Amino acid sequence: MTEPDALSLHAQLHGKIHVAANAELTEDNLTKFYTPGVAEVSKILADHPERWAELTVSGQTVAVISDGSAVLGLGNVGPVAAIPVMEGKAMLFRALGGVNAWPIVLSTQDPDEIVAAITAIAPSFAGINLEDIAAPACFEIEQRLQKELSIPVIHDDQHATAIVVLAGLYNATKLTSRVLADARVVVNGAGAAGSGIVRLLNAAGVKSVTLVDSRGVVSLDREDLTKEKLALAKLTGVETGGTFSDAVKGADILIGVSVAGAFHSDDIKNMAAQPIVFALANPEPEILPEQALEAGAAIVATGRSDFPNQINNVLVFPGLFRGLFEAKTSRLTDAHKLAAAQALAEIIEDPTSESIIPSVFDSAVVPAMIRAIGDATIQVEE
């Protein structure tokens, strides 16, 4: 679909979602769903608030929240411009995972005000999906909310993206006869997605990961690092800096979560034999698949649905939240993420260079995610 077509469709529909009743409204049940009967439900919840998930929609509803500071590849375009993206996420939650979700944008980019606003509305929701909030504020906001709230709080630009990247790498390394733990990985882009990917690769046992930002390699000898980047430098153990070109020489895997055009053919040519390239910038990738393949890449993935191997967090968040709800757990752990990535990868029984990850429409995705989250929750609790 072209951009004019998308604009026309949004204008025609006036958005992508709406509220629908779970039962037909009749003269008889009006007295039960609203006054006077609803008062009995409110009385019960006043004395037994723990029954909220049983008696209200809130128990299966996610708030999809953004401040508009990092929308897709568009940058800080503000809360109003973020609404169509948040609506899309809500639509996908329901269509793919059977989870109710509602888009909420905030007219502030101050972390204290964002935390206060989300904490105030939290009783209406069973989970919080932070979306398109720029680094480094996104890290602080997520961590503070996880401490203050007893429901799952997930910044899926970090965690869901990392899960689907790891799933794709499991099959890509299998096809290129690599052991993922021993591969040299370069991650270009040190924002929310890059941070989440580096941390999950580390949890998966990958020994050599180099993170690169707009100023070069994120290393321990740099004096300009934020708190989060310094923590990532300590995690990767990279002691001395260098340029992106330096980092990519001889690398097995290159993952881009940065900006369009960041990779060039010479970068791919300087990698190890049969390199794996994930160019995930949206809406335009760091390098087009045909250019990467011509330069020698064995497997190429992007974040787009119109190219093979779409590495997109839509594969994860509907089933992830559904799994957390069904497992009755309020925290997403590394064990959950590793299990989810493995489950996603195993859906593809016979991976090929153009099929390393399932389609978002694959009916096996959400059930696999739910099972993986449930099994991991049992292991964590044991």
3-state secondary structure of 316: coil
Q: What is the pLDDT of residue 3?
A: 64
| Cα separation, 357 vs 305, whole angstroms | 12
Give the integer Cα–Cα distance in Å for 170 and 332: 21
- The partner residues of 75 in beta bridges, in order of sequence, read 71
Instruction: Catalogue the E-assigned strands of the chain.
Output: 61-66, 100-105, 127-130, 153-155, 184-188, 208-213, 216-217, 253-256, 276-279, 299-302
pLDDT at 382: 63
Domains 3-155 and 157-382 fall in the same CATH topology:
yes
Give the pairing of strands 299-302 and 216-217.
unpaired
Quick: pLDDT tens for 363-382: 999 999 999 999 999 886 66
Q: Burial code of 288-317, b = ≥16 C-beta within 10 A, e = fewer? A: bbebbbebbbbbbbbbbeebbbbbbbbbbb
CA dist., res. 277 & res. 34, Å (int): 56
- Dist. CA 382–CA 72, nearest whole Å: 39
Instruction: Indicate the domain borders of the chain.
Output: 3-155, 157-382
| Secondary structure class of 277 (helix, strand, coil) | strand
Q: Mean pLDDT by 10-residue block, N- to C-terminus, for the chain (382 residues)?
A: 76 87 90 92 95 92 96 89 95 94 97 98 96 92 96 94 98 98 98 96 98 96 94 96 96 96 97 98 93 98 94 94 94 96 97 96 95 91 66
- Please give the Cα distance from 121 to 114 (Å, whole number): 11
Tokens of 86: 């948040």
Which one-letter amino acid corresponds to residue 116? A
Closest CA to 189 of 292, 262, 291, 266: 262
Report pLDDT for 101: 96
| Cα torsion through 363, 367, 370, 371, rounded to 10 | -140
Residue 355 φ/ψ region, left for φ over 0, alpha for ψ in the -120 to 50 degree band, beta for the rest: beta
CATH architecture of 157-382: 3-Layer(aba) Sandwich (3.40)
Q: Residue 237's closest CA among 253, 219, 215?
A: 219
Q: Please tell me the predicted confidence (pLDDT) of residue 8.
A: 86
* Cα–Cα distance measured from residue 121 to residue 46, given in angstroms and rounded to the nearest whole number: 17
DSSP category for residue 35: T
Are 25 and 89 in contact by the 8 Å Cβ rule? The answer is no
Q: Is 89 a catalytic residue?
A: yes
- The packing angle between helices 317-327 and 334-347, to 10°, is 130
Task: Tell me, yes or no, if 34 is annotated catalytic.
Answer: yes
Q: Which two tokens stand for residue 204?
A: 């998966």
Answer whether 337's CB lies under 8 Å from 159's CB.
yes
The yes/no answer on whether domain 3-155 falls in CATH 3.30.2270.10 is no
CA distance 60 to 348: 29
Terminus-to-terminus CA distance in the chain, angstroms?
48
Q: Which of 16, 32, 43, 89 is catalytic?
A: 89
The neighbour count for residue 221, using CB atoms within 10 Å, is 11
Q: What are phi and psi of 64, to 5 degrees?
A: -100, 105
Place of tokens 């929308």: 71
Residue from 16, 34, 174, 234 carrying the catalytic annotation: 34
* Sign of the dihedral defined by the CA atoms of residues 311, 115, 372, 366, in that order: negative
Q: Look at residue 2 in the predicted model and tell me its pLDDT.
A: 60
- Helix, coil or strand: residue 62: strand
Quote the CA–CA distance of 319 and 95 in Å, as a whole number. Answer: 11
